[in-house]
Amino acid sequence: MAIVEVAIIPIGTGSTSVSQYVADCHKVLEYEKNIKLALTPMGSVLEGDLDLILAAVRKMHEVPFDNGAMRVSTTIRIDDRRDKSASIEQKLKSVQEKMDQP
């Protein structure tokens, strides 16, 4: 299980708004029942099997092209930990607990 952040930016579309592209990218994930999604203000965080996630990201990257963009910049950050089970929930909880300590 890996946790992966994706940010997809269409370039040269003539509009500063990218939320429709981001929303369309997420529709790809509706059929990916084994990938958990957390939306953040700077991208999407996916949790699941790394190969499944990378296949989904590959599809997401194609979405702006399908909607007319001619250049797309996609940033992917993989956090892959194999000494213990990692999850979106556990990562957030682990930091929050330490922040709450005096």
> Could you list the residues that contact a second copy (CB under 8 A)?
3, 5, 7, 9, 11-20, 22-24, 26-27, 38-43, 45, 47, 50-51, 54, 58, 61, 65, 70-84, 88, 91-92, 94-96, 98-99, 101
Q: Least separation, in Å, of the C-beta of 32 and a second copy?
A: 14
Q: Residue 34 or residue 75: which is nearer to a second copy going by CB? A: 75
Would you say 40 and 75 are in contact if contact means Cβ atoms under 8 Å apart? no
Q: Residue 34 or residue 92: which is nearer to a second copy going by CB? A: 92
d(CA 79, CA 3): 5
d(CA 102, CA 98): 9
Q: Least separation, in Å, of the C-beta of 76 and a second copy?
A: 4
Which conformational region is residue 30 in: left (phi greater than 0), alpha (psi within -120 to 50 degrees), or beta?
Answer: alpha
Which 3 state secondary structure label does DSSP give 57? helix
Q: Least separation, in Å, of the C-beta of 35 and a second copy?
A: 14
